[in-house]
Amino acid sequence: MRGAILIKKPVTQFSVGFRSGLGYKREMKLDTGNSRLENTNTNSVEGSDSPVSSDKFQVSKAPLIISASRATDIPAFHVQWLRERLEAGYVERINPFNQKPSIVSFAEARVFVFWTKNPKPMFSLLDELDARGLHTYFQFTLNDYDGEGYESGVPKLEERLETFMTLSKRLGKDRVVWRFDPLLLTDKVSVDDLLKKVARVGDLIHPYTSRFVFSFADIVAYKRIQKHLSQAAIQAREFTIPEMQAFASGLQQLNQRWELSVSTCAEAIDLDMYGIEHGRCIDDRLLIKLFPQDAKLMAFLGYEQGLGGEWVSIAKKRKLKDPGQRKACGCISSKDIGRYDTCSHGCVYCYATHV
């Protein structure tokens, strides 16, 4: 199946010492054949690389926040792989732009932020993450493109709605962020159509979340997206500023009955007048709200405990914005562990798959 994990026999090993997620120091044998996500698609450039020799690896500083993942849907397709990597205490990451490998240790990890269209397969791992003392929240993309077939590999909308509600009941609504991402304008879908789609989903799930995030499809900047759309014979275009404002105005009216916190994802346009802020999908403010009991995380976010036990902002904070993201992105620093061309959702607007 396209996007499946290929588990190879170990072909190259080398040792790295670090503290595991369980809190003790050990020396790990890093098997370069099975420590990273692989794709069995032979048409994929990134899925057919050969084993990498140990002298080419970089062991990056162990991050506190893990992004899982902007590059693929780990909860939907790679739960067993993640379970094995948690046990090993590290993951091999391939940079999608220069193909250089590095080792990402989970030794200091405090938070996993999951990006997904279908977290249902991951329900079995939630208790284990809790037992390891790892905090989590989910960026759950719940679009309504069933009729158009723009996401051919995702479960039907009704099933995803049920999954969203179940996850929210398990974690709490603040830990499940609803995304309609991206908003795609085509010859079949207008701004009014998109508002109707958002309304249909939002009317059902707004009691199960506190946040809504959206973005306007970027087409011109991504040749992969242009290719996907062309292959699918979909006539799509980017939003004009008046169309962005029209959508924002309609969303503002919808949100009068939902009362959600609404934000954009990596959009330069200012929509404050519609009650829409520039978002931070990996959000220090949300982390502070969700996990204030974690002193190590709070210190990383720029807070220290006062004499009365309250958290006080440090006067001179480090810059938290992730330098590896786009200028309009408000996310704070994290380390992504996914890999391009390992997702089988078949989304026509995807920038992370070749085919």
Determine the pLDDT at residue 311: 87
Q: Please report the pLDDT score of residue 27 as a whole number.
A: 36
Residue 245 has φ and ψ, to the nearest 5°, of -65, -40
The bridge status of strand 236-237 relative to strand 185-186 is antiparallel
CA distance 284 to 300: 10
**For tokens 């995807």, what's the residue?**
350
CA distance 155 to 39: 21
Question: How far apart (Å, rounded) are the C-alpha atoms in residues 233 and 297?
Answer: 47
- Cis link prior to 51 (omega < 30° from 0)? no
The SS3 call for residue 107 is coil
Distance in angstroms (rounded) separating the CA atoms of residues 110 and 95: 23
> How many H helices and E strands in the chain?
9, 17
- DSSP character string of 295-335: HHHHHHTTEEE-TTS-EEE-SSPPP-B-TTS-TT--PBP-E
Domain ranges of the chain: 13-282+322-336
Tell me what pLDDT residue 269 has. 98
Rg (C-alpha) for the chain, rounded Å, is 21
Spell out the per-residue pLDDT of the chain, length 355, in tens. 333 333 333 323 333 333 333 232 333 333 334 566 765 432 222 222 323 334 556 666 789 999 999 999 999 999 999 999 999 999 999 888 888 999 999 999 999 999 999 999 999 999 999 999 999 999 999 999 999 999 999 999 999 999 999 999 999 999 999 999 999 999 999 999 999 999 999 999 999 999 999 999 999 999 999 999 999 999 999 999 999 999 999 999 999 999 999 999 999 999 999 999 999 999 999 999 999 999 999 999 999 888 888 888 886 667 899 998 999 999 999 999 999 999 999 999 999 997 6
Backbone angles phi, psi at 208, to 5 degrees: -110, 10
CB of 199 closer than 8 Å to CB of 254: yes
**3-state DSSP: the chain helix, strand, coil percent, rounded to 5?**
30, 25, 45
Q: Single out the residue of 200, 195, 198, 196 nearest to residue 246, CA to CA.
A: 195
What distance, in Å, lies between the first and last C-alpha atoms of the chain?
13
Hey, what are 155's tokens? 């479960």
127 touches 82 (CB < 8 A): no
Asked if residue 345 lies in contact with residue 153, where contact means CB atoms within 8 angstroms, the answer is yes
> Which neighbouring-strand residues pair with 65?
111
Residue 96: the pLDDT is: 85
Dihedral, CA atoms, 293, 129, 76, 2, nearest 10 degrees?
A: 130
pTM of the full structure: 0.86
Q: What is the DSSP string of 108-171?
A: T--EEEEEES--GGGGGGHHHHHHTT-EEEEEEE----TTTTTBTTSPPHHHHHHHHHHHHHHH
Euclidean distance between CA atoms 253 and 247, whole angstroms: 10
